Amino acid sequence: MTEPVIVGVDGSGRSLRALMWATHEAALHNAALRVVHVLPTWEHDIPFHPPGMWLSVRDHGVDILTEAATIAKESRPGLDVSAELMVGHPAAVFVDLSKQASAVVLGARGEGGLSNVLLGSVSLQVSGHAEAPVVVVGYVSGGNDRILVGTDGSESSSAALAYAFEEASLRRAALHVLRAWGLPTPPDDSTVPDPEQIAEDYRQECERGLAVLRARYPDINVQVELVRSRPSDALIRASGRADLAVVGSRGKGGFHGLAVGSVSHALLQDASCPVAVIRSKSPGKA
């Protein structure tokens, strides 16, 4: 059975967009939707809170969950929707929940209010450490019928390609595979590399990496583009023509680092569509 799609909600507008995206994703994958609101550990975060504040915050959290679950059920009748109020550090909670999820969906950033700030600030953190794909929803573009995926031949980008092909198949969308590259710095005693030859080498490498997935998903319209540019800049530009951007991230070890790679970080900050981060366990820059 498919693991549930988990979505974090905090009552903000971006949270609502994340909820709607997650609801659609759960329906596409025939998965359950688990709606989660996280309350902070007040004794640690706010040691001198007024009497009764905890009950008020808890009741507000219950209201947020009730409204979110109702919206999801009404938008997708028949979808298995559950709601859960949890207590803890939001980043740690969602990383832990990702162990039993097909995807974790979060808003890009909060829009005011303590709970909104707590939810919004964890999206980058969770992206670097979750065991399931993490989709960060900021801007939502629709009608492009196109999935964008960045590749560089690494293990993490291979995982991103596999995810992107599956999403394109389920959504009946075209797939834009983007490989950005730059000229390597030659030693002092060597000639400047031929840009055309480098581009051709990268194209062949890219096609080899796509061969198995093309065979598995023969009906997907795949466009391969090589761009001489910084990967983050190229992906951000291309995100304006996509409904979803997918990128691999090797991140960094250790939860307390809470780091996501530089390319993923830039895309999460500035993309014009939702971004799915697919993490591998190998350290690196993606």
Tokens of 39: 């309350």
**Helix residue spans in 98-230 (DSSP H):** 114-121, 123-129, 155-171, 195-216
Nearest by Cα to 61 from 82, 85, 45, 40: 85
Nearest by Cα to 153 from 252, 226, 256, 82: 226
Contacts of 88 (CB under 8 A, 6+ apart): 38, 40, 41
| Distance between CA atoms of residues 90 and 128, nearest Å | 14
Give the residue extent of every domain in the chain.
Answer: 5-137, 146-279
Domain 5-137 has CATH 3.40.50.620: yes
Reported as a single tens digit per residue, the pLDDT across 241-270 is 999 999 998 654 444 433 457 888 888 888
Say if 5-137 and 146-279 have the same CATH topology.
yes
Q: Are 278 and 249 in contact (CB under 8 A)?
A: yes
| Distance between CA atoms of residues 118 and 67, nearest Å | 19
What topology does CATH give the domain 146-279?
Rossmann fold (3.40.50)
Reported as a single tens digit per residue, the pLDDT across 66-107 is 999 999 999 999 999 999 999 999 999 999 999 999 999 999
pTM for this one? 0.86
Residue 250: the pLDDT is 66
